Amino acid sequence: MIAATWPRDDRARARLLLMDRRSGALEDRVASELPRLVESGDLLVVNDAATLPASLMGTANGTPIELRLLDASDGLWRAVAFGAGSWRTPTERRPSPPQLARGAQLSFGGLCATVEAVLSTSSRLLSVRFAQTAEVFWSELYRIGKPVQYSYLSGELRLWHVQNSYAARPWAAEAPSAGFVLSARVLAELRQHGVRVAALTHAAGLSSSGDEALDAALPLAERYEIPASTVAAIAAARANGGRIIAVGTSVVRALETHALERGGELRAGAGQSELRIGPGFALRVVDGLLSGIHDPAASHYALLQAFASREHLDAAHAAAERWGYLEHEFGDVCLLL
């Protein structure tokens, strides 16, 4: 399938593959039609994590390195490291970083950090602590950091290219891109059609590290927070016969993790999702999914099999190829109902 190489000027013009899970029917639609494809009383749950300028170029003990930040806890950042090079080289062809050990010094212009732990044998996954105060760190990160991007793109992204219209807290290493098609106009039309929108925050991680063993473990544990207002909106939609439609796989992981850990009951709260969802998983909260177009080899594809059979998904993927759909974060989308 062909990769989308640049953001659309009007994201709602993306194509939308409508998948009926019961009949197996497939329809070629447009994302701007979404308000007419869902029903009054349905609830869309979005991931409002803003995308970080998570890519930092610098040196490790004098050797070139790129650090891609994942998430922070108690001042420690988990990050994936690469050797010399840039996003223009596919991640699987990027050299590994120099062998690092606890105490190694990393420098990124106005930021410097110390390796607190090496979390993978290849030195790709690290835990680091920045020396700067929080105020200085965040100011410098937004000055020198850039969004994570991959070699199929045609130019260098700016931070505004990877934000959703409803982005809030800066938690995401990569954009929760299924929501790109939800422009202000589409959101307004959804509400006019009686469809509510609620939000949670999930620290969407990296889609590729270039390390085969590490990639096999993706997605890594990711933090999330579900507010009381979203729990109430889900309960109200359920009570009125509406469906809960997740916008992106990160929303599915957050909601299903939280419900599973509480005996099937969804409550407000925060946690970390290490849940791997796949064929045969019993969904407790989510009824439908708006998602990007994923390659069958991607980890997201396994999650989709909790919503539809492999045969249905393969047929949809083949149809998307025939119809010229584009994949990856700026590509087209599918709606499973």
Q: What would the DSSP string read from start to end of 55-72? A: EEEEEETTEEEEEEEEEE
Q: Which residue segment(s) compose the domain that 33 sits in?
A: 2-51+160-336
Residue 142 confidence (pLDDT) above 90? yes
- The pLDDT value recorded for residue 260 is 93
Instruction: Tell whether 191 and 319 lie within a shared domain.
Output: yes
pLDDT tens-place string over residues 193-252: 999 999 999 999 999 888 888 888 888 899 999 999 999 999 999 999 999 999 999 999
> For residue 232, what are its two tokens?
């109430």
| Parallel, antiparallel or unpaired: strands 26-30 and 15-19 | antiparallel
What is the pLDDT confidence band of residue 125, given thresholds at 50, 70 and 90? very high
Whether 222 is covered by a domain: the verdict is yes
Whether 154 is covered by a domain: the verdict is no
Instruction: Tell whether 274 and 167 lie within a shared domain.
Output: yes
What is the pLDDT confidence band of residue 151, given thresholds at 50, 70 and 90? very high
The stretch 295-318 carries a mean pLDDT of 87
Instruction: Tell whether 43 and 168 lie within a shared domain.
Output: yes
* Boundary-marking domain end, from 144, 176, 193: 144
Name beta bridge partners: 77: 72, 128
Instruction: Tell whether 318 and 202 lie within a shared domain.
Output: yes
**Helix, strand, coil content of the chain in percent (nearest 5):** 25, 30, 45
Looking at per-residue pLDDT, the higher value among 280 and 300 belongs to 280
- The pLDDT value recorded for residue 334 is 97
Are the C-beta atoms of residues 178 and 300 closer than 8 Å to each other? no
Instruction: Tell whether 75 and 206 lie within a shared domain.
Output: no
Mark 134-161 as b/e (b = at least 16 C-beta within 10 Å): eeebeebbeebbbbbbbeebeeebeeeb
Whether 247 is covered by a domain: the verdict is yes
- Give the strands of the sheet with 269-273, arranged side by side: 26-30, 15-19, 333-336, 288-292, 244-247, 43-47, 196-202, 222-226, 269-273
* Boundary-marking domain end, from 144, 179, 194: 144
The stretch 110-137 carries a mean pLDDT of 93
Whether 151 is covered by a domain: the verdict is no
Instruction: Tell whether 47 and 59 lie within a shared domain.
Output: no
What is the pLDDT confidence band of residue 113, given thresholds at 50, 70 and 90? very high
- Round to whole Å and give the CA distance between 282 and 286: 10
Instruction: Tell whether 43 and 65 lie within a shared domain.
Output: no
- The pLDDT value recorded for residue 201 is 98
- Tally of residues, the chain: 337
Instruction: Tell whether 198 and 103 lie within a shared domain.
Output: no
The stretch 25-39 carries a mean pLDDT of 97
Residue 6 confidence (pLDDT) above 80? yes
Cα dihedral 56, 57, 58, 60 sign: positive
Whether 219 is covered by a domain: the verdict is yes
The stretch 137-145 carries a mean pLDDT of 97
What is the pLDDT confidence band of residue 30, given thresholds at 50, 70 and 90? very high
Are the C-beta atoms of residues 89 and 110 closer than 8 Å to each other? no
Are the C-beta atoms of residues 14 and 181 closer than 8 Å to each other? yes
Whether 20 is covered by a domain: the verdict is yes
Burial (CB < 10 A; 0-12, 13-18, 19+), residue 22, is exposed
Are the C-beta atoms of residues 19 and 308 closer than 8 Å to each other? yes
Instruction: Tell whether 92 and 166 lie within a shared domain.
Output: no
Instruction: Tell whether 176 and 280 lie within a shared domain.
Output: yes
Mark 196-227 as b/e (b = at least 16 C-beta within 10 Å): bbbbbbbbbbbbbbbbeebbeeebbbbbbbbb
Instruction: Tell whether 332 and 214 lie within a shared domain.
Output: yes
Instruction: Tell whether 261 and 324 lie within a shared domain.
Output: yes
pLDDT tens-place string over residues 45-89: 999 999 999 999 999 988 999 999 999 988 899 999 999 999 999
Whether 320 is covered by a domain: the verdict is yes
- The pLDDT value recorded for residue 104 is 95
Kindly report the CATH number assigned to the domain that includes residue 75: 2.40.10.240
> For residue 209, what are its two tokens?
């590290």
DSSP letters along 264-329, please?
T---SEEEEE-----TT---SS--EEEEE---TTSHHHHHHTTTS-HHHHHHHHHHHHHTT-EEST
Q: How many domains, in total, are found in the chain?
A: 2
Whether 245 is covered by a domain: the verdict is yes
What is the pLDDT confidence band of residue 160, given thresholds at 50, 70 and 90? very high
* Boundary-marking domain end, from 114, 144, 174: 144
Q: What is the DSSP letter of 160?
A: G
Give the torsion through C-alpha atoms of 137, 143, 149, 155, to 10 deg. -170
> For residue 44, what are its two tokens?
């869309």
- The pLDDT value recorded for residue 154 is 97
- The pLDDT value recorded for residue 120 is 84
